[in-house]
Amino acid sequence: MEQTETYSQIKRKSIISTLSLFVQSGYSAFLGLAANLVVTILLSPKIFGIYITTLSIISVLNYFSDIGLAASLVQKKEVTNNDIKTTFTVQQILICSIISIGFLLTNFVKSFYKLPSEGITLYWALLLAFFISSLKTIPSILLERKIQFQKIVLVQIIENTVFYIAVIILAFLNFGLLSFAIAVLLRAIVGLIVIYSISFWIPQIGVSSKSLKKLLSFGLPFQASSFLALFKDDLIILFLGKILGFEALGYIGWAKKWAEAPIRIIMDNISRVLFPVFARIQNDKEKIAHLVEKIIKYQTSLLAPIILGMALIMEKVVFIIPKYSKWTPAIPLFYLFCVSAFFSSYSSPFINLFNALGYAKIPFIFMTVWTISTWILTPLLTKFFGIYGFPITIVIMSVSSIFVMLKAKKHINFKLIESINKPILAAFFMGICIYLLLLIIPDPFIGIIVSIPFGAIIYFFSMKVVFKINLITELKTLFIK
């Protein structure tokens, strides 16, 4: 994309893209919560654990499907047809090789995890969906470079609608694990058709050594960080599934999924827009600093009350939903993951900042430390604390995000404490009020119904009256200086 856009045009596209992503997240979150409730009511923790394990295996393969070329196309100021063609060709060679290996490892995966036949069917379905989804990479990148995430959002809305509705219907029809297998294939096929109808691109085969060398100069350090994230996140899940069993992993997966839902909806969407936006304004440190301050203030204003509120009411939610009390053992895990989710959210904007500025080696160093620490602490703490070992490790790792922010301050002069202190204090006051209210109201259902709007009112009142911050205004001016 040629650098002819003004900063105001980039800001306008950023706002539209961010709001579009939030609309998609809100819609998908509603469907996802409905589907999650259905499958966790109808399916056992063991089956849910098998699904999480199989999904992690595919995530492992996904890290080998790219060597950072896609990210290089987004980060690069200008791209040529040779860049695009080279990226597509190399990626498809890698993906086809990986899928072939994946199918050859079927017997090993089956025996290692003692998967039932339905588990293997799910594994195969995810491999096939993995290939189909890879064909969407270039059309998606072209839209990202234009910061037209609203078009990507449309595809995701359609994909998620197909996936979640299929999962819900099939779960009701007692398909068990096959519910996920059929749903992921439907999502992949429909998504491929829709993305090419919106951002059409004729696949081209060929490799330019000049383009490949230039793309790899950024792509390899970037992908190295992602590769380390593989060992830190997905491989550790496979390790836990082996040593703790599928039922324990099901509890961990349930707690982690619910606790991280706010940052998946909020921070993942903001981060997707931040990378191309930072890349477009990478030479203007003042604008970047202003944007960073807005981002951390905005995310704190949303995440602090939401995560704290969820932690206060989740125990009651488990008991009022039919057949949901089986997840009670996961509640303490949920609390730990809530803490880690809040702290870890602060590293995401700065990792995107480093990558967009071309400092891909900095995230790589942090990821190296986090990966080594995770693999040292998880087995050790699991030995002493059992199922709590991994969540405790994640909490420890999340607190280290402070070092990421300190490193960022050496490159960009932004205000940290001033951006986060007021939302945190307001959320803390809200938490005290909700806690006292839940003690007064004995009925859990009424307590939840009353505490949610009551907490929101207390929080908005604290922010606007005590701290003179209008959250609606903050949202409108997120990307405006």
* 3-state SS, one letter per residue, for 28-96: HHHHHHHHHHHHHHHCCHHHHHHHHHHHHHHHHHHHCCCCCHHHHHHHCCCCCHHHHHHHHHHHHHHHH
Amino acid (1-letter code) at residue 323: K
- List of long-range contacts for 287-292, beta carbons under 8 Å, 24+ apart: 287/7, 287/481, 288/353, 288/412, 289/412, 289/413, 289/414, 290/414, 290/481, 291/479, 292/349, 292/350, 292/353, 292/408, 292/412, 292/414
- Gyration radius of the chain over CA positions: 22
Can you read off the two tokens belonging to residue 380? 């050790």
- Overall average pLDDT of the 200-216 stretch: 81
Res 396: pLDDT:
93
**234 part of a folded domain:** no
CB under 8 Å to 263, separation ≥6 — which residues? 303, 341, 342, 344, 345, 348
Describe the chain by its helix, strand, coil percentages, rounded to 5. 85, 0, 15
pLDDT band, very low/low/confident/very high, at 83 (cuts 50, 70, 90): confident
Residue 3's pLDDT is 46
Residue 186 lies in a domain: no
Phi, psi of 35 (to 5 degrees): -65, -40
* Domain annotation covers residue 96: no
Closest C-alpha to 467, from 433, 434, 435, 421: 421
**Average of pLDDT values for 446-465?**
90
Higher pLDDT, 254 or 221: 254
Q: Is residue 72 part of a domain?
A: no
pLDDT recorded at residue 21: 61
Distance between CA atoms of 65 and 381, rounded to whole angstroms?
Answer: 32
What percent of the chain has a predicted confidence (pLDDT) above 70?
Answer: 76
Domain count across the chain? 1
Q: How far is CA 410 from the centre of its chain?
A: 27
For residue 203, being part of any structural domain is answered with: no
Distance, in Å, from the CA atom of 435 to the CA atom of 163, rounded to the nearest integer, reads 37
Backbone angles phi, psi at 412, to 5 degrees: -130, 130
Assigned domain for 94 exists: no
Q: State the average pLDDT over residues 432-460.
A: 91
pLDDT at 471: 65
User: Is 211's pLDDT higher than 50?
Assistant: yes
pLDDT tens, position by position, 261-287: 888 777 766 666 666 666 666 666 777
Of 9 and 340, the structure prediction assigns the larger pLDDT to 340
Region 120-148: what's the mean pLDDT? 84
Distance CA 282, CA 124 (A): 42
pLDDT band at 398 (very low <50, low <70, confident <90, very high): very high
- Segment 322-348, tens digit of pLDDT: 777 888 899 999 999 999 999 988 888
Instruction: Please report, rounded to a whole number, the percentage of residues in the chain having pLDDT higher than 90.
Output: 19
Q: How far apart are CA 299 and CA 274, in angstroms?
A: 13
**Least confident span in 28-37, 311-320, 368-377, 454-463:** 28-37
pLDDT value at position 431? 94
Residue 138 has pLDDT above 60, yes or no: yes
Q: Report the mean per-residue pLDDT for the chain.
A: 80
pLDDT reading at 55 higher than 70: no
Write the DSSP assignment of 156-180 as a string of letters.
Answer: HHHHHHHHHHHHHHHHHTT-TTHHH
The model's confidence at residue 189, banded by pLDDT at 50, 70 and 90, is very high
Q: Give me the count of residues in the chain.
A: 481
Residue 251 CA to residue 89 CA, distance in Å, equals 40
Least confident of 35-44, 87-96, 297-306, 357-366: 35-44
Judge whether 358 lies within some domain: yes
Residue-range definition of the domain harbouring residue 273? 245-481
Residue 371 in domain: yes
Q: How far apart are CA 15 and CA 9, in angstroms?
A: 10
**Dist. CA 374–CA 397, nearest whole Å:** 7
Query: pLDDT-derived band of residue 1, with 50, 70 and 90 as boundaries?
Result: very low
Q: Pull the structure tokens for residue 334.
A: 């949920």
> Of 40-54, 73-87, 174-188, which range is least confident?
40-54
Paired tokens of 158: 């359609």
